[in-house]
Structure 1
Amino acid sequence: MSTAGELLKVRPLAMADLAAAQALSAAHRWPHRVEDWQFALALGEGIAAEAERQLVGTAMAWRFGSDWSSLGMVMVAPERQGKGIGRRLMHALLAALGDRSILLHATPEGEPLYRTLGFAPVSAVRQHQGAAFCVGFHPPRAGERIRPAGRADLAVLTALDSAATGMARGSVLAALLEQAACVVLDRAGVASGFAMLRRFGRGQLIGPVVAPDAEAARLLIAHWLGQRQGEFLRIDMPADTGLSDWLAGVGLPQVDVVTRMVRGAPRPPAAVRSFALVSQALG
């Protein structure tokens, strides 16, 4: 009898696969729409596992400059788990990425595999979401204002994001500006942080959020909460931001937590930091 490995074909993930990929993610109760898959693949690259002409696994990666990348959308059909498909997909992507440092966010099920591949946990990310929330008025402090972002802000948004993440994600920010609403926090006339809101999954997603401190991040997030009361919102927030209890208190409870893992050199501290992710895949 042929083994699962002999029946398995590993090949590049194509746009034509994304309806099947969305069905695969739905089987894992992930909320991604086909449009979310399309956005992710347009910015990166993917590997597909195919058996009997059916898509049975995926993995994706995004390259940020010459030093960094992120990795995500790693999944295997539930009925085919435990047969080494995930490991084979990971090996294929890691070989393509070479010596880059790599960031990923691991579910409890995936974390043991990633540890064997050289990834080490560095923190946690908490997923908050809900529609029954109410946030009070959060006025800017003296010398601060929140304003809409435009395409002319791309360079400064990219610089802020790079300082916060250590990654060159200009192409991601440019693509986000084409479909997301974005506000900028000016301090004394200088852009010091920003927050985006876009359609994702079951509703709207707040992220990325980059700010110089937790109070500035709270102000930016509260802007979108105030604008979208009654709508389903999601935000993926590093656990050490100090804002998770506040989010739960205003009606966005924590519904999940994943482990942030890095293979390579962790990024150094910066004057601004990330308070919410683009997505768990893109970081």
Structure 2
Amino acid sequence: MTERDARQPIMRALDPADLGAAQALSAALSWPHRLEDWNFALSLGEGVALESGRRLVGTAMSWAFGPGWGTLGMVIVAPEMQGRGLGGRLMETMLSRLGTRGVQLHATKAGEPLYRKLGFAPVATIRQHQGAAYCVGFHAPRTGERLRPAGRADLAVLTALDAAATGMARGPLLEALIGEAEGIVLDRDGVASGFAMLRRFGRGKVIGPVVAPDPEAARLLVAHWLGQRQGEFLRIDVTEDSALSAWLEEAGLPAVDDATRMVRGQPPAPAAVRSFALVSQAFG
């Protein structure tokens, strides 16, 4: 073993006891994740840790959403450990956990070259909006539409709508969200046709996921939360083609960053509903 090999960090399973140190790693990168956000992510997936001198210096996590697809995220290497190929080690380990599934992730500009080498291709731009929302005006439902609260009895239909929009079987994620988030459902002629959730995350609250049949319906769902939470710090991550960005800017949520959605595998085919806003960049 060379001296360089001897200095390589040890890779092991990411444990709940590591999450305080993991949160410190993410905070050093100006990521907003609280300890509670790390716990939520790990409770739904699995992760690996890099340890050097009994200190956490790297993380990565994956989530398997049914047999066809999974997502990757929370990939961090401490600045002083970069340039040693550790990001590639983390990624290859998590990809092996997902097996033959198609994989989706959201890349920073710094991470995109590595992901391309691993077979990922860019498919969309994600625009992060955040700020203190103010009044967006009244958004009236169209004829036959109404908004109503979402509850546990809606889990099956929300899971079906989410699967149609994302191509992923995210039932456990939706169940966990219903347990800690507020939700609304868009009914059209008595049929659930979209939904949006709001939960505590990072510096304030995040709106997402937002699933809807068209941009006007998505604006109706998002406007509900903007109106309910005027003056509060809110975040929403929308697809560039959502037709929501300019409207969000006017509502007081400027675009502050972009990420690139990348996939390894064939992206899911479009369905009758679309995903307009993410749960998070880790979950998709």
TM-based fold match above 0.5: yes
TM-score by length of 1: 0.98
Which 10-residue stretch deviates more, 218-227 or 4-13?
4-13
Aligned to 1:15: 16
Deviation at 1:83, TM superposition (A): 1.4
Q: How does 1:243-282 map to 2 (within 5 A)?
A: 243-282=244-283
Aligned to 1:197: 198
* Aligned partner letter, 1:9: I
Deviation at 1:97, TM superposition (A): 1.3
> Which secondary structure state, in structure 2, belongs to the residue aligned with residue 3 of structure 1?
helix
Aligned equivalents of 2:95, 2:192: Cα separation in 1:
36
Contact kept in structure 2, 1:149 and 1:184, CA below 8 Å: yes
> Which secondary structure state, in structure 2, belongs to the residue aligned with residue 147 of structure 1?
strand
Aligned to 1:70: 71
Which 10-residue stretch deviates more, 1-10 or 58-67?
1-10
Q: What does the per-residue CA deviation read over 1:250-280, in whole Å, with 9 as the maximum and x for residues that have no partner?
A: 1100000000000011110100000000000
Contact kept in structure 1, 2:161 and 2:193, CA below 8 Å: yes
> Which secondary structure state, in structure 1, belongs to the residue aligned with residue 225 of structure 2?
helix
Deviation at 1:95, TM superposition (A): 1.4
Deviation at 1:132, TM superposition (A): 4.7
Aligned to 1:213: 214
* Aligned partner letter, 1:202: R
Gaps of 5+ in 2: none
Is 1:234 the counterpart of 2:235? The answer is yes
Aligned to 1:119: 120
**Residues 143, 79 of structure 1: alpha-carbon distance in 2 compared, 3 angstrom cutoff:** same
Aligned equivalents of 1:41, 1:133: Cα separation in 2:
34
Aligned equivalents of 2:6, 2:194: Cα separation in 1:
48
Over the matched positions of the two proteins, sequence identity in percent amounts to 70
> Which secondary structure state, in structure 2, belongs to the residue aligned with residue 109 of structure 1?
coil
Is 1:133 the counterpart of 2:134? The answer is yes
Aligned equivalents of 2:202, 2:5: Cα separation in 1:
32
Q: How does 1:180-191 map to 2 (within 5 A)?
A: 180-191=181-192
Contact kept in structure 1, 2:73 and 2:281, CA below 8 Å: yes
Deviation at 1:134, TM superposition (A): 2.7
Gaps of 5+ in 1: none
Deviation at 1:79, TM superposition (A): 1.6
Q: How does 1:147-162 map to 2 (within 5 A)?
A: 147-162=148-163
Contact kept in structure 2, 1:28 and 1:78, CA below 8 Å: no
Aligned equivalents of 1:190, 1:7: Cα separation in 2:
56
Q: How does 1:25-44 map to 2 (within 5 A)?
A: 25-44=26-45
> Which secondary structure state, in structure 1, belongs to the residue aligned with residue 90 of structure 2?
helix
Q: What does the per-residue CA deviation read over 1:166-204, in whole Å, with 9 as the maximum and x for residues that have no partner?
A: 000000000000000000000001000000000000000
Aligned equivalents of 1:3, 1:95: Cα separation in 2:
25
Deviation at 1:120, TM superposition (A): 0.2
Aligned equivalents of 1:249, 1:99: Cα separation in 2:
43
Aligned equivalents of 1:268, 1:60: Cα separation in 2:
26
Aligned to 1:107: 108
Aligned equivalents of 1:100, 1:180: Cα separation in 2:
28
**Residues 248, 3 of structure 1: alpha-carbon distance in 2 compared, 3 angstrom cutoff:** same
The runs of at least 4 consecutive aligned structure 1 residues that moved more than 4 Å come to: none
Aligned equivalents of 1:2, 1:38: Cα separation in 2:
36
Deviation at 1:7, TM superposition (A): 3.1
Aligned to 2:164: 163
Number of positions where the alignment pairs a residue of Structure 1 with one of Structure 2? 283
